[in-house]
Chains A and B, each alone.
Chain A
């Protein structure tokens, strides 16, 4: 946590320092208050004191309270600013950091975890920083100062206060020991309940079809009971705090007066009056002491949680992306649109087995190369090497005649139109999604967008939408169907006017007819663009210039459809599973 705070900048440190100064000042004022109070007490008790003196003391006291309040305002102001500005920077740093990550780093943390780290964890830290600046510093100062103030005023009273603090600490510690662990357990029990509910919701049809409603409900009841039992325990435990706190506050005053009665009674005549004044002052200091300890206790509860958050943020910020940028801006003109793999192997860092082994092939400008193979054959990994989502472990990959590691990321990305397996759409409009990104040239015109959507066979449904190309797209594209999302995602690649298309199994969400129309249009409208296609269906790749059959990371067949049917067992097997013999003959 402290390491994270090293990231506070000079201005924030300065503001934090101001906070500290004002807190010290404020504590002093707060503790001064009872002194005026005692002065007033003395005045009222001394026969013949002038009313003007009481007024003056009252005025001082008011001034003191007001200044103290003003100090708090200042502290609060700076604390809020420091924490908000710090959290703003943390968020920004995290965002940039994650943006610089590649697939490897992202999968190491998982996307969900990165999201929590950038949102909830930052909020946690911000909250604690804000509170910390005000209370963490104030509570101990207050406690210590108040104790020194009362320490000399009567051992018996001090002891009474000590007992109260002891009771308080005992209560807090036992809550920490017995109840806090249950709080942690509660999180996993809530997750469990969520899981069971989600299970029922996502399998509604199955649950009903199998008449298994009671089965699910019984399962839910079990999770529910476990959760409720834990919650009962924690909330009963927590319910003790308030009554006990109330009683401590009242009890301390009572004790001070009760003890006071004996002390005064035993004292010399001349000491009785000062002792009486002391007593009144003491009872208010004692309350301050107890309050300070209470605040400290709260901080001790909150601190560990924030420390965990801080650690999680640090982990992300300290991770260095494993893929470095190159410097080449342009490919060799003569080799434009060519892609060459030379002895490429790939394995995940730390993994024993290669995902891809010794893959070599090359495609020329405007040609189509297709990759096919069963799940786990490495075809998606292969295609992901081209935009450098991963770097090849061995061998080299050339795009337009230049090793991809030598390009700047931007220059390489400008050559590529990548369509992922699962369509990704952003909140915005149809047009903003299709025109997404930056290809190093001018932004696409309305006509560019329209024609890209037409090529991707999305014209029909987009024209039917309200506001057509300006129709709203919800986050994640949830307001259109899967096939429509995929078509817009393809349109985005087309609109980019790249040298190379990369389709990572992008056609499976489309029906055969749309699939065919789309490929026909692509071929016609964007001739000269190289295509790399990962596919499941034979129909999709039937007419590719080159089909590469992968099995367990190795190339087991290379050639055209007809050749492969004769020469490659694996290909034949795949083909036969999809089409009958006579259909294959067509």
Chain B
């Protein structure tokens, strides 16, 4: 199992960045196919939290309103102070004093506004943080359950890494971005509108000045953003290409070396590296401009407000205190603009990630079988294939009208060259795939008439890829079987010849199997055989169970398997022909279809494909 995790462009580690545009951290934005549709789905998914979300949105709005009101107070405060400044009244200098009581009143009111704003904002951000995490958790749970409700067919066309990245990356992106953007969006929009209103209420000329100057700046910003977008995707592509190349060459290092491929690979590497350099500096440069540009827009607005404001003051149209208020407003006004743009961009990646997650969650599931009343109980293990037709894709039937009858306790071998589709039979028996026509019967009952779990209960299975999980040896052997005593586990291990080895481990049956306490391939296989033994099912499937162990270990494993097959109807897939000679029925497969069937002797007498296969292993090279 490789530790590689698929990487996908997404927002960087955002939470520490605080306010302001985060251009530097932005990757190329992924565009969702349907922004609205996915957002609606996401909203529906969060329905149970709707009341709380509304509270959060309302508090975000209210918090911003309070925040916007504050500068107005600051203006009043400034006004009070200004009244106390020496002034010329009718040409005579007059020394006034400040009305400290009024100052205190206004200041305390501001304190109240700020505190209210702080509390509401805290409330909002805590609610949003909690909801998004809870939603992420639910999404992950749903995906994990979905995995087990999808037909195996689905996994033919999708890689494990893809599913994995939906569970972790995509859900993470949704969690992070929602958390950051919803609150920020509400905050910013209210702040934006609020400060605009307050500015116009105060003085329309100054307000117009402020809006126009910020808009001009914002226009430039959009231009830069558009331009940098191109370099971002170029950088993302080059980064992907170079990572791919590095991964490929490092993993194939032996071959590269042995074939003197280093020079050429280095050349390829450098050419990608150069491309990456260009797009990297360009995108970094352009995105780095965002923050200073914001600052400049702020300054620009500031100067515009000052100059226009000063003119107005000198003309006596306004008080100086209005300018003070405007200096704060201009900041409150420009800041949300970039935040809104940012939030929308982030929401785009939320939607793109959400799309992938919902796409997975909406995949067609296995048929619900709770209505099926028939159950297989205490079956003898008789299997019948009756006119079975099957194809992985409907257009291409690989198994044509196959019929065979297997008596209880018989051994069926499935043979054929690599890639002949030997596993197909297993897939059909276990109902991992549904038949295209005909039926398979267990003790005379068609398997599609009983629930899938009930079919699975009838089988024990040992596969080529020994599948063990991180847990104790005992857990691995018992797995999900209920009511298994320790004696049974020990007995099973004694039968497969594993008991002695387990006793030598420091923690015996409680030894945790993980990367550190690794077992040899053969021992792993013995554990899975013990697992099948504990399962104690009437039918058994052995799929190339010995092909990944070396020959001496194989004999031990083979012996264990022979014990396991005693008294059970078994289906054995193997490419070592000598081990299956004594099978009661041999199915010979080629290019997906069963081309011959019969006993070893019958097939040899046929002088067909089987005979050819069998003889090829002894022929000397001419």
Contacts and interface: CB of A to CB of B under 8 A. Distances in A.
A145 B444 CA distance: 90
B118 A244 contact: yes
Contacts of B307: 40, 54-55, 58
Contacts of A294: 18
Q: Nearest 7 pairs between A and B by C-beta?
A: A437-B259, A84-B281, A239-B125, A72-B292, A243-B121, A58-B307, A212-B480
A88 B281 CA distance: 10
Given A130-B288, A241-B18, A427-B244, A61 B121 contact: no
B567 to A, nearest CB: 20
B385 interface: no
Nearest to A53: B310
Given A413-B258, A520-B621, A254 B114 contact: yes
B417 A69 contact: no
A10 B232 CA distance: 28
Nearest to B558: A577
A33 B110 CA distance: 27
Nearest to A269: B95
Interface in A261-280: 261-262, 264-265, 269, 272-273, 276, 279-280
Interface in B267-322: 269-270, 273-274, 276-277, 280-282, 284-285, 288-289, 292-293, 295-296, 299-300, 302-303, 306-307, 309-311, 313-314, 320
Contact of B306 (A58, A106, A542): A58
Nearest to A254: B110
A451 interface: no
Interface stretch (B44-52, B78-86, B196-204, B353-361): B78-86
B371 interface: no
A577 B554 contact: yes
Nearest to A119: B243
A389 interface: yes
B223 interface: no
A262 B100 contact: yes
A261 B3 CA distance: 64
Contact of A258 (B77, B87, B251, B575): B77
Given A106-B253, A200-B148, A420-B254, 4 more contacts: A224-B140, A269-B86, A483-B419, A539-B618
B552 A45 contact: no
A396 interface: no
Contacts of B226: none
A118 interface: yes
A326 to B, nearest CB: 15
A496 B136 CA distance: 54
B510 interface: no
Contacts, number: 469
A573 B555 CA distance: 10
A190 interface: yes
Given A242-B125, A511-B575, A264 B255 contact: no
B373 interface: no
A314 to B, nearest CB: 18
A44 to B, nearest CB: 4
Main secondary structure of the interface of B (DSSP, over half): helix
Contact of B480 (A210, A239, A298, A440): A210
Contacts of B314: 44, 49, 51, 54
Main secondary structure of the interface of A (DSSP, over half): helix
Given A83-B284, A209-B456, A69 B244 contact: no
B15 A238 contact: yes
Given A194-B168, A272-B86, A514-B417, A101 B253 contact: yes
A96 interface: yes
Interface stretch (B341-349, B397-405, B461-469): B461-469
Contacts of A205: 152, 430, 432, 461, 463
A99 B310 contact: no
Contacts of A240: 122, 125
Nearest to A524: B622
A577 B282 CA distance: 65
A387 B306 contact: no
Given A232-B133, A261-B80, A418-B254, A37 B306 contact: yes
Given A54-B310, A481-B419, A512-B575, A261 B98 contact: yes
B595 interface: no
Contacts of B284: 79-80, 83-84, 130
Interface string B582-620: 000000000000000000000000000000110011111
Given A54-B310, A80-B285, A511-B575, A92 B125 contact: no
A320 interface: no
Contact of A261 (B77, B293, B302, B553): B77
B620 A543 contact: yes
A80 B88 contact: no
A62 B307 CA distance: 10
A18 B264 CA distance: 37
B81 A264 contact: yes
5 contacts: A210-B535, A238-B16, A413-B257, A438-B263, A542-B618
